[in-house]
Amino acid sequence: MNTMKQRFSVRKLFRGAALVLAATGLTAGHAAAQETTAAAEQKVQYWFKICPERKGPDGKPVKICVTQHEQFNQRSGELNVAVAIRQQEGKKEKLLLTVPLGVALPTGIAVKFDKIAEPVKLTYVFCHAEGCVVDTAATPQILDAMRKGAKIDLSVFHTFYNRPVSFSVPLKGFTATYKGDPVDGKQYFQRRQQLRLAIRKRTADAIKKAQAEQKKKQAAE
C-alpha cells in the first residue's frame, strides 16, 4: 500500500469513528445507545489493522500485525473496550480483549460470540494505564466465529458501579480488515489522540454551558 492510500484509509476510518463516539459510553447497554449504535453500524468501518515494526531478541525485524476495534467513553475519552487479533510470524494468533480499569479481576470476562453457542469465560492477564487485558489463543473456532458472526458481547463486573457492565462489539468489516492491508500506524495513533481530546473538550464545553444556564436561571429567580 502506498503512502497516499494509507493516509486516505486512516482519514476514512476516523471520519467513521467520529460518528459512533457518542454511542460508545460505559452505558452502552442502554436501549437508546444501542439504537444509535445500530444505526451508525451501517455507515462505519469499525476495524483497523496496523503492522508496527518490532525487533526480536536477536535484533532482526519481527513481523507483527494487529487487527483491532476500539470504543471510547463518550464523556472522558478513555478507552472503554478493545478487541484485537494479534498475528506474529512464527507464533500462534492471539485474541486480546481490553476493558476499563475498576473491573473485578476474579470474575474475569464473559465473552459471547454469536456463532458459538455457549459464552466463553476468560481471565485477565494484566492491567495497564488504559485497562485490564485478556491475552489468550485465537483458536480456529474463535477466528471462524469472528469471520462469520455479527457481533461479540462482553460482560464484566465493575466495582465502581457495583454491577455487571456489558459491551457489544460489531464484527462488520473484521474479515476484510483482517485480510487486507494495514493503515499507517503513526497517523492512526495521532488521529486517535485527537479524537480523545475532542471528546474531552466537548464534555468540558457542555459542563460550562450547563453551569452558565444554571447561573442565568438563578439570577432570574
Of 73-87, 99-113, 121-135, 141-155, give the lowest mean pLDDT range. Answer: 73-87
Q: Is the pLDDT of residue 17 over 50?
A: no
**Mean pLDDT taken over the chain:** 77
Strands 79-88 and 61-72: antiparallel
Hey, which of 57-61, 87-91, 141-145 has the most confident mean pLDDT?
141-145
Domain residue ranges in the chain: 3-203
| Cβ neighbours around 84 below 10 Å, total | 21
Q: Is the pLDDT of residue 132 over 50?
A: yes
The whole-angstrom separation of Cα 86 and Cα 57 is 19
Chain position carrying cell 471528546 = 199
Name residues whose C-beta falls within 8 Å of residue 184's C-beta, 6 or more positions apart in sequence: 3, 6, 7, 9, 10, 50
Q: Assign domain 3-203 to its CATH architecture.
A: Sandwich (2.60)
Longest dimension (CA), the chain: 74
The 10s digit of each residue's pLDDT in 152-167 is 999 999 898 899 999 9
The 10s digit of each residue's pLDDT in 85-110 is 999 988 999 999 999 999 999 999 99
Q: Under a CB-based contact definition with an 8 Å cutoff, are residues 167 and 154 in contact?
A: yes
DSSP code string of 153-172 = EEEEEETTTTEEEEEEEE-T
| Cβ neighbours around 106 below 10 Å, total | 8
pTM: 0.70
Chain-centre distance for alpha carbon 217: 40
